[in-house]
Structure 1
């Protein structure tokens, strides 16, 4: 009986130890995707006019909603096989197929009307007023400013006025 109890304790402890080990591996992998080797999280862009967002990583999972905004920036927060778990600027998450994502970057104007400036400085003359929800192509970021292109107009926005680029991220042309 004592041998049975020890065996039972050993069997019960094994999954816990395996879970702790995979938890340690999981936390070590939070900075690199298991499928691509790319950073996690990272920003990408929706490629298509309609993108099905599923409750899990595969076609057997139901469609939770459909994005209908091409070029919307999203954040990849997890990877599984050919599926990417994404988060939008409002915090909504779901799974999409990798073919629906592009590495070409965009940003979205958040919270208020923002001025697109000709140079990366508050004193620079404004070139356009951008409403919340406007999507701009990201070209580069230096310090607190990002160079973007909107409707054929190149200019600069404060990094904190857009979503789709990290505060500490360097983006080169």
Structure 2
């Protein structure tokens, strides 16, 4: 829980009572590898903070291919916020790539913080902006060659190559696993 509080305090000041209210509003949740935090076809009902582990955002294209859109690592929020906020059905999955420990707020508890903590909306908006920016900016640029995309992946996610399945990295880069293996072999 301390990791979450430290994260939140980057975006604004809170007194001891407000911090205690946040602590009481959240629960710790464990996800095992491959378990979903939220699923396509359902309305997202929770906001999470990754304490340990890696979560990926993915969807299926019109050909039925699984596409990994982003990775969410420790000390980051995880939520399909647009659909969470608007109570709409999601079109993406948020899935644990590794066993994960999260601190989770239900929609009700997340909204209650806005009513009870002065300045929470400003703090929340800053956190959500960072969350959405990270999910959007780290996608590979498909017009780049695959080696360049892989090198950028390593730069953006230096600790992930040995933590998550290569199939997820290949999906993120838009290449086959065989192509990714060749790229990795040529770089070494």
TM range (shorter): under 0.3
Name which one, 1 or 2, has greater alpha-carbon Rg: 1
Q: TM-score, normalised by structure 2?
A: 0.26
Where relative contact order (Cα < 8 A, 6+ residues apart) is larger, the structure is 2
More helix, by proportion: 2
Q: TM-score, normalised by structure 1?
A: 0.27
